[in-house]
Amino acid sequence: MQQITSPATPIVSLRDVQKSFGPLRVLDGVSFAVERGEVLAVIGRSGSGKSTALRCIDRFEKIDCGEIIVCGHRVDLPDVDLRALRQDVGIVFQSYNLFPHLTIEQNITLAPCSVKRMSASRAKELAHKVLAQVGLEEKLHAYPEQLSGGQQQRAAIARSLAMQPKVMLFDEVTSALDPELTAEVLKVIEQLARDGMTMVMVTHEMGFAKGIADRIVFMHRGKVHETGSASILTSPKTPELVQFVGTGNLKS
Amino acid sequence: MGGHLNINHLLFLGHGALWTIGLSLIALIGGGIAGFVIALARISPLRSVRLLSAAYVQLIQGTPLLVILFLGYFGLAAIGLKVSPLAAAGASLTLYVAAYLGEIWRGSIQSVPKPQWEAAEGLALSRTQRMMKVILPQAIRIATPPTVGFMVQIIKNTSLASVVGFVELMRSGQIVNNSLFEPFAIYAIIAVVYFAMCYPLSLFSQRLERRLGRGRADFLAPA
Protein backbone atom coordinates (compact mmCIF):
# COMPACT_ATOMS: atom_id res chain seq x y z
CA MET A 1 0.00 0.00 0.00
CA GLN A 2 1.61 3.27 -1.02
CA GLN A 3 1.84 6.17 1.35
CA ILE A 4 0.12 9.32 0.16
CA THR A 5 1.75 12.17 1.96
CA SER A 6 1.24 15.22 -0.16
CA PRO A 7 0.18 18.11 2.08
CA ALA A 8 -3.22 18.39 0.42
CA THR A 9 -4.24 14.85 1.34
CA PRO A 10 -6.06 14.53 4.66
CA ILE A 11 -4.40 12.35 7.32
CA VAL A 12 -7.74 10.76 8.11
CA SER A 13 -10.77 10.68 5.88
CA LEU A 14 -14.08 8.90 6.30
CA ARG A 15 -16.55 8.80 3.45
CA ASP A 16 -20.11 7.59 3.87
CA VAL A 17 -19.16 5.07 6.58
CA GLN A 18 -21.88 2.69 7.72
CA LYS A 19 -21.69 0.27 10.60
CA SER A 20 -24.32 -1.79 12.38
CA PHE A 21 -24.18 -3.87 15.52
CA GLY A 22 -26.88 -6.42 14.75
CA PRO A 23 -30.06 -4.51 13.95
CA LEU A 24 -28.68 -1.30 15.46
CA ARG A 25 -27.24 1.11 12.92
CA VAL A 26 -24.49 2.89 14.85
CA LEU A 27 -22.91 4.79 11.96
CA ASP A 28 -25.26 5.90 9.24
CA GLY A 29 -23.20 7.51 6.50
CA VAL A 30 -20.50 9.33 8.43
CA SER A 31 -18.05 11.51 6.52
CA PHE A 32 -15.35 13.81 7.80
CA ALA A 33 -11.69 14.49 7.19
CA VAL A 34 -8.78 15.60 9.31
CA GLU A 35 -5.93 17.61 7.80
CA ARG A 36 -2.34 17.42 8.93
CA GLY A 37 -1.85 19.31 12.19
CA GLU A 38 -5.57 19.71 12.72
CA VAL A 39 -7.38 19.00 15.98
CA LEU A 40 -10.84 17.57 15.48
CA ALA A 41 -13.23 17.15 18.39
CA VAL A 42 -16.10 14.71 18.02
CA ILE A 43 -18.97 15.43 20.38
CA GLY A 44 -22.43 14.04 20.88
CA ARG A 45 -24.63 12.15 23.27
CA SER A 46 -23.76 8.70 24.54
CA GLY A 47 -24.85 6.26 21.86
CA SER A 48 -24.52 8.78 19.04
CA GLY A 49 -21.75 6.67 17.46
CA LYS A 50 -18.82 8.96 18.18
CA SER A 51 -16.64 6.37 19.93
CA THR A 52 -17.45 3.78 17.27
CA ALA A 53 -16.41 6.21 14.55
CA LEU A 54 -13.10 6.76 16.34
CA ARG A 55 -12.52 3.02 16.79
CA CYS A 56 -13.18 2.46 13.08
CA ILE A 57 -10.27 4.76 12.23
CA ASP A 58 -7.85 2.36 13.98
CA ARG A 59 -9.89 -0.62 12.76
CA PHE A 60 -10.93 -1.84 16.15
CA GLU A 61 -14.30 -2.09 14.43
CA LYS A 62 -14.81 -3.23 10.84
CA ILE A 63 -17.18 -1.12 8.84
CA ASP A 64 -20.03 -2.44 6.68
CA CYS A 65 -19.50 -0.02 3.84
CA GLY A 66 -17.95 3.30 3.00
CA GLU A 67 -14.32 4.32 2.76
CA ILE A 68 -11.74 5.11 5.42
CA ILE A 69 -8.24 6.25 4.50
CA VAL A 70 -5.75 6.87 7.30
CA CYS A 71 -2.20 8.01 6.46
CA GLY A 72 -2.57 6.35 3.06
CA HIS A 73 -3.85 3.05 4.46
CA ARG A 74 -7.17 1.84 3.06
CA VAL A 75 -8.65 0.87 6.42
CA ASP A 76 -11.93 -0.24 4.83
CA LEU A 77 -10.22 -2.96 2.77
CA PRO A 78 -9.86 -6.44 4.28
CA ASP A 79 -6.18 -6.72 3.36
CA VAL A 80 -5.07 -3.54 5.13
CA ASP A 81 -1.71 -3.96 6.88
CA LEU A 82 -2.92 -3.52 10.46
CA ARG A 83 0.51 -3.34 12.02
CA ALA A 84 1.61 -0.63 9.59
CA LEU A 85 -1.62 1.27 10.22
CA ARG A 86 -1.17 1.12 13.97
CA GLN A 87 2.37 2.37 13.78
CA ASP A 88 1.00 5.50 12.16
CA VAL A 89 -1.94 5.86 14.54
CA GLY A 90 -1.72 6.26 18.32
CA ILE A 91 -4.81 5.57 20.38
CA VAL A 92 -5.53 6.45 24.02
CA PHE A 93 -8.49 4.90 25.81
CA GLN A 94 -10.84 6.03 28.54
CA SER A 95 -9.59 3.28 30.88
CA TYR A 96 -5.85 4.01 30.27
CA ASN A 97 -5.08 0.30 29.71
CA LEU A 98 -1.49 0.45 30.87
CA PHE A 99 0.02 -3.01 31.28
CA PRO A 100 -0.14 -3.64 35.04
CA HIS A 101 2.73 -6.13 35.15
CA LEU A 102 5.22 -3.69 33.63
CA THR A 103 6.77 -0.51 35.01
CA ILE A 104 5.93 2.76 33.28
CA GLU A 105 9.29 2.63 31.50
CA GLN A 106 8.64 -0.93 30.32
CA ASN A 107 5.14 0.02 29.22
CA ILE A 108 6.66 2.70 27.02
CA THR A 109 9.65 0.78 25.66
CA LEU A 110 7.73 -2.43 24.87
CA ALA A 111 6.37 -1.40 21.47
CA PRO A 112 9.45 0.52 20.20
CA CYS A 113 11.64 -2.48 21.12
CA SER A 114 9.37 -5.25 19.81
CA VAL A 115 7.76 -3.53 16.84
CA LYS A 116 10.43 -1.10 15.68
CA ARG A 117 13.37 -3.23 16.88
CA MET A 118 14.82 -0.23 18.69
CA SER A 119 17.80 -0.95 20.95
CA ALA A 120 17.04 -1.07 24.68
CA SER A 121 19.23 1.95 25.44
CA ARG A 122 17.66 4.10 22.74
CA ALA A 123 14.19 3.04 23.85
CA LYS A 124 15.00 4.06 27.42
CA GLU A 125 16.15 7.48 26.26
CA LEU A 126 12.93 7.77 24.32
CA ALA A 127 10.89 6.76 27.38
CA HIS A 128 12.63 9.51 29.34
CA LYS A 129 11.84 12.05 26.64
CA VAL A 130 8.13 11.23 26.26
CA LEU A 131 7.64 11.03 30.04
CA ALA A 132 9.17 14.50 30.33
CA GLN A 133 6.66 15.66 27.73
CA VAL A 134 3.80 14.57 29.99
CA GLY A 135 5.54 15.66 33.19
CA LEU A 136 6.10 12.21 34.70
CA GLU A 137 9.90 11.72 34.58
CA GLU A 138 9.99 10.69 38.21
CA LYS A 139 7.55 7.80 37.64
CA LEU A 140 9.85 5.91 35.28
CA HIS A 141 10.16 2.89 37.57
CA ALA A 142 6.72 2.95 39.17
CA TYR A 143 4.03 0.40 38.40
CA PRO A 144 0.75 1.68 36.95
CA GLU A 145 -1.22 0.91 40.13
CA GLN A 146 1.05 3.25 42.08
CA LEU A 147 -0.09 6.19 39.94
CA SER A 148 -3.22 8.30 40.15
CA GLY A 149 -5.75 8.07 37.32
CA GLY A 150 -4.50 11.30 35.78
CA GLN A 151 -0.91 10.12 35.95
CA GLN A 152 -1.85 6.77 34.42
CA GLN A 153 -3.59 8.52 31.56
CA ARG A 154 -0.60 10.78 30.98
CA ALA A 155 1.65 7.71 30.99
CA ALA A 156 -0.66 6.08 28.44
CA ILE A 157 -0.34 9.17 26.24
CA ALA A 158 3.45 8.98 26.61
CA ARG A 159 3.34 5.30 25.61
CA SER A 160 1.50 6.21 22.42
CA LEU A 161 3.83 9.12 21.69
CA ALA A 162 6.84 6.81 21.89
CA MET A 163 5.70 5.16 18.66
CA GLN A 164 5.86 8.58 16.97
CA PRO A 165 2.41 8.32 15.42
CA LYS A 166 1.26 10.62 12.63
CA VAL A 167 -2.14 11.01 14.22
CA MET A 168 -3.42 10.49 17.76
CA LEU A 169 -6.91 9.28 18.66
CA PHE A 170 -8.34 10.09 22.09
CA ASP A 171 -11.40 8.12 23.17
CA GLU A 172 -13.05 10.01 26.05
CA VAL A 173 -9.71 10.03 27.82
CA THR A 174 -10.87 12.15 30.76
CA SER A 175 -14.26 10.55 31.37
CA ALA A 176 -12.97 8.43 34.26
CA LEU A 177 -11.20 11.33 35.99
CA ASP A 178 -12.24 13.99 38.49
CA PRO A 179 -12.00 17.67 37.42
CA GLU A 180 -8.54 18.21 38.88
CA LEU A 181 -7.03 15.14 37.22
CA THR A 182 -8.92 15.98 34.02
CA ALA A 183 -7.19 19.35 33.97
CA GLU A 184 -3.71 17.83 34.15
CA VAL A 185 -4.46 15.45 31.27
CA LEU A 186 -6.00 18.21 29.16
CA LYS A 187 -2.91 20.34 29.71
CA VAL A 188 -0.80 17.58 28.15
CA ILE A 189 -3.15 17.30 25.17
CA GLU A 190 -3.10 21.09 24.73
CA GLN A 191 0.68 21.03 24.58
CA LEU A 192 0.53 18.28 21.93
CA ALA A 193 -1.83 20.43 19.89
CA ARG A 194 0.59 23.37 20.13
CA ASP A 195 3.38 21.06 18.96
CA GLY A 196 1.34 20.41 15.83
CA MET A 197 0.13 16.85 16.47
CA THR A 198 -2.82 15.78 14.35
CA MET A 199 -5.55 14.66 16.72
CA VAL A 200 -9.05 13.29 16.70
CA MET A 201 -10.73 13.31 20.07
CA VAL A 202 -14.03 12.12 21.31
CA THR A 203 -14.79 14.21 24.34
CA HIS A 204 -17.45 15.37 26.77
CA GLU A 205 -15.37 18.38 27.79
CA MET A 206 -17.17 21.12 25.87
CA GLY A 207 -15.05 23.93 27.25
CA PHE A 208 -11.90 22.09 26.27
CA ALA A 209 -13.22 21.21 22.81
CA LYS A 210 -14.06 24.86 22.25
CA GLY A 211 -10.62 25.98 23.36
CA ILE A 212 -8.48 23.51 21.48
CA ALA A 213 -10.35 22.13 18.47
CA ASP A 214 -9.88 23.57 15.00
CA ARG A 215 -13.09 21.87 14.03
CA ILE A 216 -16.01 20.26 15.80
CA VAL A 217 -18.07 17.35 14.57
CA PHE A 218 -21.40 16.96 16.34
CA MET A 219 -22.77 13.46 15.94
CA HIS A 220 -26.41 12.56 16.40
CA ARG A 221 -28.02 9.18 15.73
CA GLY A 222 -25.08 7.83 13.75
CA LYS A 223 -24.78 10.87 11.49
CA VAL A 224 -22.62 13.98 11.40
CA HIS A 225 -25.37 16.36 12.35
CA GLU A 226 -23.49 19.61 12.42
CA THR A 227 -19.88 20.49 11.80
CA GLY A 228 -17.81 23.62 11.76
CA SER A 229 -15.34 25.69 13.74
CA ALA A 230 -15.55 25.88 17.52
CA SER A 231 -18.02 28.71 17.17
CA ILE A 232 -20.82 26.21 16.48
CA LEU A 233 -20.81 25.49 20.19
CA THR A 234 -21.74 29.06 21.02
CA SER A 235 -24.04 29.60 18.07
CA PRO A 236 -25.43 26.20 17.12
CA LYS A 237 -27.70 25.98 14.08
CA THR A 238 -29.55 22.69 14.50
CA PRO A 239 -32.06 22.26 17.33
CA GLU A 240 -30.30 19.05 18.44
CA LEU A 241 -26.98 20.81 18.99
CA VAL A 242 -28.81 23.70 20.68
CA GLN A 243 -30.29 21.19 23.05
CA PHE A 244 -27.00 19.31 23.50
CA VAL A 245 -24.96 22.36 24.46
CA GLY A 246 -27.95 23.96 26.18
CA THR A 247 -28.80 21.19 28.60
CA GLY A 248 -25.29 21.35 29.98
CA ASN A 249 -24.84 17.80 28.81
CA LEU A 250 -21.13 17.91 29.52
CA LYS A 251 -20.95 14.49 31.09
CA SER A 252 -23.21 11.60 30.37
CA MET B 1 2.88 -64.69 56.74
CA GLY B 2 2.26 -62.22 59.51
CA GLY B 3 5.22 -60.66 61.29
CA HIS B 4 5.74 -57.06 62.24
CA LEU B 5 6.17 -53.85 60.35
CA ASN B 6 9.95 -53.46 59.93
CA ILE B 7 12.43 -51.24 58.18
CA ASN B 8 12.15 -53.20 54.93
CA HIS B 9 8.44 -52.58 54.78
CA LEU B 10 9.02 -48.88 55.35
CA LEU B 11 11.69 -48.79 52.65
CA PHE B 12 9.24 -50.47 50.29
CA LEU B 13 6.62 -47.84 51.12
CA GLY B 14 9.23 -45.13 50.64
CA HIS B 15 10.02 -46.53 47.22
CA GLY B 16 6.29 -46.42 46.41
CA ALA B 17 6.12 -42.81 47.60
CA LEU B 18 8.97 -41.92 45.23
CA TRP B 19 7.01 -43.43 42.35
CA THR B 20 3.96 -41.42 43.39
CA ILE B 21 6.12 -38.30 43.08
CA GLY B 22 7.57 -39.58 39.80
CA LEU B 23 4.16 -40.30 38.31
CA SER B 24 2.88 -36.90 39.48
CA LEU B 25 5.81 -35.20 37.77
CA ILE B 26 5.21 -37.12 34.54
CA ALA B 27 1.52 -36.20 34.65
CA LEU B 28 2.15 -32.54 35.46
CA ILE B 29 4.97 -31.98 32.98
CA GLY B 30 3.35 -33.97 30.16
CA GLY B 31 -0.11 -32.62 30.99
CA GLY B 32 1.28 -29.12 31.43
CA ILE B 33 2.83 -29.04 27.98
CA ALA B 34 -0.24 -30.60 26.34
CA GLY B 35 -2.51 -28.39 28.45
CA PHE B 36 -0.75 -25.25 27.22
CA VAL B 37 -1.37 -26.34 23.64
CA ILE B 38 -5.03 -27.07 24.52
CA ALA B 39 -5.42 -23.63 26.12
CA LEU B 40 -4.07 -21.90 23.01
CA ALA B 41 -6.17 -24.12 20.74
CA ARG B 42 -9.32 -23.24 22.73
CA ILE B 43 -8.87 -19.54 21.88
CA SER B 44 -7.49 -20.07 18.37
CA PRO B 45 -8.82 -17.77 15.63
CA LEU B 46 -9.59 -20.97 13.68
CA ARG B 47 -13.04 -22.34 14.41
CA SER B 48 -12.12 -25.95 13.62
CA VAL B 49 -9.21 -25.88 16.08
CA ARG B 50 -11.46 -24.39 18.77
CA LEU B 51 -14.14 -27.03 18.23
CA LEU B 52 -11.70 -29.93 18.18
CA SER B 53 -9.98 -28.85 21.41
CA ALA B 54 -13.34 -28.18 23.09
CA ALA B 55 -14.51 -31.67 22.14
CA TYR B 56 -11.35 -33.16 23.64
CA VAL B 57 -11.83 -31.27 26.89
CA GLN B 58 -15.49 -32.30 27.14
CA LEU B 59 -14.65 -35.93 26.41
CA ILE B 60 -11.96 -36.17 29.08
CA GLN B 61 -13.86 -34.13 31.67
CA GLY B 62 -16.88 -36.37 31.19
CA THR B 63 -14.91 -39.58 31.73
CA PRO B 64 -13.74 -40.93 35.11
CA LEU B 65 -9.96 -41.10 35.42
CA LEU B 66 -10.36 -44.73 36.47
CA VAL B 67 -12.00 -45.55 33.15
CA ILE B 68 -9.25 -43.76 31.22
CA LEU B 69 -6.67 -45.81 33.14
CA PHE B 70 -8.50 -49.08 32.39
CA LEU B 71 -8.76 -48.15 28.72
CA GLY B 72 -5.07 -47.29 28.58
CA TYR B 73 -3.94 -50.52 30.22
CA PHE B 74 -6.47 -53.33 29.72
CA GLY B 75 -8.18 -51.81 26.70
CA LEU B 76 -5.03 -51.33 24.67
CA ALA B 77 -3.79 -54.78 25.70
CA ALA B 78 -7.05 -56.32 24.46
CA ILE B 79 -6.49 -54.92 21.00
CA GLY B 80 -2.94 -56.22 20.96
CA LEU B 81 -1.01 -53.17 22.25
CA LYS B 82 0.90 -54.26 25.34
CA VAL B 83 1.95 -51.28 27.43
CA SER B 84 3.71 -51.22 30.78
CA PRO B 85 1.77 -50.03 33.84
CA LEU B 86 4.04 -46.96 33.99
CA ALA B 87 3.38 -46.05 30.35
CA ALA B 88 -0.35 -46.63 30.70
CA ALA B 89 -0.62 -44.64 33.93
CA GLY B 90 1.66 -41.86 32.68
CA ALA B 91 -0.20 -41.47 29.40
CA SER B 92 -3.67 -41.63 30.98
CA LEU B 93 -2.81 -39.04 33.61
CA THR B 94 -1.21 -36.81 30.97
CA LEU B 95 -4.40 -36.88 28.87
CA TYR B 96 -6.46 -36.16 31.97
CA VAL B 97 -4.28 -33.33 33.30
CA ALA B 98 -4.04 -31.72 29.85
CA ALA B 99 -7.81 -31.30 29.66
CA TYR B 100 -8.12 -29.71 33.10
CA LEU B 101 -5.03 -27.51 32.98
CA GLY B 102 -6.02 -26.48 29.45
CA GLU B 103 -9.35 -25.24 30.78
CA ILE B 104 -7.84 -23.51 33.82
CA TRP B 105 -5.34 -21.72 31.60
CA ARG B 106 -7.84 -20.84 28.90
CA GLY B 107 -10.00 -19.25 31.58
CA SER B 108 -7.00 -17.37 32.95
CA ILE B 109 -6.00 -16.06 29.53
CA GLN B 110 -9.56 -14.96 28.83
CA SER B 111 -9.93 -13.26 32.18
CA VAL B 112 -7.20 -10.78 31.27
CA PRO B 113 -9.39 -7.76 30.44
CA LYS B 114 -10.08 -7.33 26.73
CA PRO B 115 -8.85 -3.72 26.71
CA GLN B 116 -5.38 -5.10 27.44
CA TRP B 117 -5.51 -6.90 24.08
CA GLU B 118 -6.71 -3.71 22.41
CA ALA B 119 -4.03 -1.56 23.97
CA ALA B 120 -1.39 -4.01 22.77
CA GLU B 121 -2.99 -4.12 19.35
CA GLY B 122 -3.09 -0.33 19.20
CA LEU B 123 0.68 -0.33 19.76
CA ALA B 124 1.13 -2.51 16.64
CA LEU B 125 2.33 -5.59 18.54
CA SER B 126 1.88 -8.84 16.58
CA ARG B 127 -0.49 -11.51 17.90
CA THR B 128 2.44 -13.52 19.27
CA GLN B 129 3.95 -10.45 20.92
CA ARG B 130 0.59 -9.53 22.46
CA MET B 131 0.26 -13.02 23.85
CA MET B 132 3.82 -13.41 25.12
CA LYS B 133 4.50 -9.93 26.44
CA VAL B 134 1.14 -8.61 27.55
CA ILE B 135 -1.43 -11.35 28.08
CA LEU B 136 0.48 -14.40 29.34
CA PRO B 137 2.41 -12.60 32.09
CA GLN B 138 -0.92 -11.42 33.50
CA ALA B 139 -2.65 -14.76 32.89
CA ILE B 140 0.09 -16.61 34.78
CA ARG B 141 -0.66 -14.55 37.88
CA ILE B 142 -4.33 -15.43 37.64
CA ALA B 143 -3.63 -19.09 36.87
CA THR B 144 -1.09 -19.85 39.57
CA PRO B 145 -3.36 -20.49 42.60
CA PRO B 146 -5.83 -22.80 40.77
CA THR B 147 -2.94 -24.58 39.04
CA VAL B 148 -1.18 -25.32 42.32
CA GLY B 149 -4.52 -26.42 43.78
CA PHE B 150 -5.02 -28.79 40.87
CA MET B 151 -1.53 -30.25 41.40
CA VAL B 152 -2.69 -31.43 44.82
CA GLN B 153 -5.59 -33.25 43.15
CA ILE B 154 -3.20 -34.96 40.75
CA ILE B 155 -0.86 -36.22 43.46
CA LYS B 156 -3.85 -37.81 45.18
CA ASN B 157 -5.31 -39.14 41.92
CA THR B 158 -2.09 -41.01 41.07
CA SER B 159 -3.28 -43.53 43.68
CA LEU B 160 -5.75 -44.74 41.04
CA ALA B 161 -2.78 -46.06 39.05
CA SER B 162 -2.60 -48.84 41.64
CA VAL B 163 -5.49 -50.57 39.83
CA VAL B 164 -3.36 -51.21 36.75
CA GLY B 165 -0.64 -52.73 38.90
CA PHE B 166 1.63 -49.71 38.99
CA VAL B 167 3.48 -49.86 42.31
CA GLU B 168 3.19 -46.35 43.67
CA LEU B 169 2.46 -45.44 47.28
CA MET B 170 -1.06 -46.88 47.43
CA ARG B 171 -0.17 -50.13 45.68
CA SER B 172 2.94 -50.62 47.82
CA GLY B 173 0.72 -50.18 50.90
CA GLN B 174 -1.65 -52.85 49.61
CA ILE B 175 1.28 -55.21 48.99
CA VAL B 176 2.72 -54.67 52.47
CA ASN B 177 -0.73 -55.14 53.99
CA ASN B 178 -1.18 -58.41 52.11
CA SER B 179 1.71 -59.84 54.07
CA LEU B 180 1.13 -58.14 57.44
CA PHE B 181 -2.67 -57.78 57.72
CA GLU B 182 -2.44 -54.54 59.64
CA PRO B 183 -4.65 -52.35 57.44
CA PHE B 184 -5.25 -49.59 59.99
CA ALA B 185 -1.58 -48.96 60.74
CA ILE B 186 -0.47 -49.27 57.15
CA TYR B 187 -3.17 -47.17 55.54
CA ALA B 188 -2.72 -44.56 58.29
CA ILE B 189 0.93 -44.34 57.30
CA ILE B 190 -0.07 -44.05 53.65
CA ALA B 191 -2.53 -41.27 54.49
CA VAL B 192 0.11 -39.35 56.45
CA VAL B 193 2.59 -39.63 53.57
CA TYR B 194 0.01 -38.34 51.05
CA PHE B 195 -0.81 -35.53 53.43
CA ALA B 196 2.88 -34.67 53.81
CA MET B 197 3.18 -34.38 50.03
CA CYS B 198 0.00 -32.35 49.50
CA TYR B 199 -0.09 -30.03 52.47
CA PRO B 200 2.98 -27.96 51.56
CA LEU B 201 1.48 -27.39 48.11
CA SER B 202 -1.87 -26.37 49.61
CA LEU B 203 -0.09 -23.94 51.91
CA PHE B 204 1.88 -22.57 48.98
CA SER B 205 -1.35 -22.13 47.00
CA GLN B 206 -2.99 -20.23 49.87
CA ARG B 207 0.03 -18.00 50.25
CA LEU B 208 0.01 -17.25 46.54
CA GLU B 209 -3.63 -16.31 46.68
CA ARG B 210 -3.09 -13.96 49.61
CA ARG B 211 -0.19 -12.41 47.78
CA LEU B 212 -2.17 -11.96 44.58
CA GLY B 213 -5.03 -10.52 46.58
CA ARG B 214 -2.83 -7.53 47.23
CA GLY B 215 -2.81 -6.90 43.52
CA ARG B 216 0.90 -6.61 42.83
CA ALA B 217 2.83 -9.39 41.14
CA ASP B 218 5.86 -9.18 43.38
CA PHE B 219 6.92 -12.70 42.56
CA LEU B 220 6.60 -11.95 38.89
CA ALA B 221 8.34 -8.60 38.96
CA PRO B 222 10.08 -8.40 35.61
CA ALA B 223 13.85 -8.20 35.58
From CA B101, how far away is CA A102, in angstroms rounded? 26
The C-alpha of B39 sits at a distance from chain A's nearest C-alpha, in angstroms, of 21
pLDDT greater than 50 at residue B219: no
Amino acid at B175: I
**Structure confidence at residue B5 (pLDDT):** 86
**Structure confidence at residue A249 (pLDDT):** 47
User: Which one of A95, A101, A145 has the shortest CB-CB distance to B222?
Assistant: A101
Decide if B165 is inside a domain. Answer: yes
CA dihedral A54, A57, A59, A61 (to 10 degrees): 40
CATH number at residue B161: 1.10.3720.10
What is the average pLDDT score of chain B?
A: 91
Contact B215 A145 (CB under 8 A): yes
Is A155 in the B-facing interface, judged by CB distances under 8 Å? no
**Structure confidence at residue B133 (pLDDT):** 96
**Structure confidence at residue A251 (pLDDT):** 40
Q: How far is CA B63 from CA A58, B58, B66, B74, B102, in A?
A: 46, 9, 8, 16, 16
Are B10 and B192 within 8 A, CB to CB?
Answer: no
Decide if B218 is inside a domain. Answer: no
Decide if B65 is inside a domain. Answer: yes
What is the average pLDDT score of chain A?
A: 92
From CA A39, how far away is CA A13, in angstroms rounded? 14
Which of B112, B121, B123, B218 to substitute to test the interface with A, most A CBs within 10 Å?
B123
Q: Report pLDDT digits (tens) over A195-250.
A: 999 999 999 888 889 989 999 999 999 999 999 999 899 889 999 999 998 765 44
**Which residue in A has a C-alpha nearest to residue B220's C-alpha?**
A101
Contact B123 A115 (CB under 8 A): yes
From CA B53, how far away is CA B38, in angstroms rounded? 6
Decide if B164 is inside a domain. Answer: yes
Q: Report pLDDT digits (tens) over B20-48.
A: 999 999 999 999 999 999 999 999 999 99
The average pLDDT across B159-175 equals 94
User: What is residue B194's three-state secondary structure?
Assistant: helix
* Strand-strand pairing, A12-21 and A65-70: antiparallel
- Helical (H) or strand (E) element with A216: strand A215-220
**Structure confidence at residue A1 (pLDDT):** 46
Decide if B159 is inside a domain. Answer: yes
Q: Report pLDDT digits (tens) over A126-135.
A: 999 999 999 9
The C-alpha of B109 sits at a distance from chain A's nearest C-alpha, in angstroms, of 14
Domain A12-246 bears CATH identifier 3.40.50.970: no
Contact A101 B137 (CB under 8 A): yes
Query: Which of B78, B109, B75 is closest to B95 using CA atoms?
Result: B75
Contact B222 A111 (CB under 8 A): no
**Structure confidence at residue B96 (pLDDT):** 97
**Which residue in A has a C-alpha nearest to residue B137's C-alpha?**
A101
**Structure confidence at residue B11 (pLDDT):** 94
* pTM of the complete model: 0.84
- Quote the percentage of chain B above a pLDDT of 70: 94
**Which residue in B has a C-alpha nearest to residue A112's C-alpha?**
B123
Decide if B223 is inside a domain. Answer: no
CA dihedral A215, A219, A224, A230 (to 10 degrees): -20
List, in order, residues 6 or more apart from B175 with CB less than 8 Å away.
B12, B167
Amino acid at B35: G
Decide if B2 is inside a domain. Answer: no
Contact B119 A100 (CB under 8 A): no
pLDDT greater than 90 at residue A252: no
**Which residue in A has a C-alpha nearest to residue B134's C-alpha?**
A99
- Residues spanned by the domain of B168: 7-213
* Orientation of helix B85-110 relative to helix B47-61, angle to 10°: 120
Contact A111 B125 (CB under 8 A): yes
Contact B133 A100 (CB under 8 A): no
Structural domain count of chain B: 1
**Structure confidence at residue B57 (pLDDT):** 97
CA dihedral A130, A133, A139, A143 (to 10 degrees): -50
User: What is residue A250's three-state secondary structure?
Assistant: coil
**Structure confidence at residue B4 (pLDDT):** 85
The average pLDDT across B91-105 equals 97
Q: Report pLDDT digits (tens) over A144-196.
A: 999 999 999 999 999 999 999 999 999 999 998 999 999 999 999 999 999 99
The chain B residues in contact with chain A (CB within 8 A) are 115-116, 118-126, 129, 133-134, 137-138, 141, 215-217, 220, 222
Q: What values do phi and psi take at A87, rounded to 5?
A: -80, -25
User: Which one of B116, B121, B133 has the shortest CB-CB distance to A110?
Assistant: B133
Domain boundaries, chain A: 12-246
**What confidence tier does B2 reach under pLDDT thresholds 50, 70, 90?**
low
Q: Report pLDDT digits (tens) over B114-134.
A: 999 999 999 999 999 999 999
The average pLDDT across B195-201 equals 95
Q: Taking the CB of residue B76, how many other CB atoms lie within 10 A of it?
A: 16
Decide if B82 is inside a domain. Answer: yes
The number of residues making up chain A comes to 252
In chain B, which residues have their Cβ closer than 8 Å to the Cβ of A103? 222
Are B165 and B156 within 8 A, CB to CB?
Answer: no
**Structure confidence at residue A51 (pLDDT):** 94
In chain A, which residues have their Cβ closer than 8 Å to the Cβ of B137? 101
pLDDT greater than 50 at residue B223: no
Residues in a beta bridge with B126: none
In our burial notation (b when 16+ CB lie closer than 10 A, e otherwise), range A3-38 reads: eeeeeeebbbbbeebebeeeeebbbbebebebbbeb
**Structure confidence at residue B205 (pLDDT):** 83
From CA A204, how far away is CA A252, in angstroms rounded? 8
User: What is residue A102's three-state secondary structure?
Assistant: coil
From CA B107, how far away is CA A170, in angstroms rounded? 31
* Strand-strand pairing, A215-220 and A39-44: parallel
Q: Point out the least confidently predicted range of A61-65, A94-98, A247-251, B186-190.
A: A247-251
**What confidence tier does B198 reach under pLDDT thresholds 50, 70, 90?**
very high
**Structure confidence at residue A247 (pLDDT):** 62
The average pLDDT across A37-53 equals 94
**Structure confidence at residue A207 (pLDDT):** 87
Q: Report pLDDT digits (tens) over A66-118.
A: 999 999 999 999 999 999 999 999 999 999 999 999 999 999 999 999 999 99
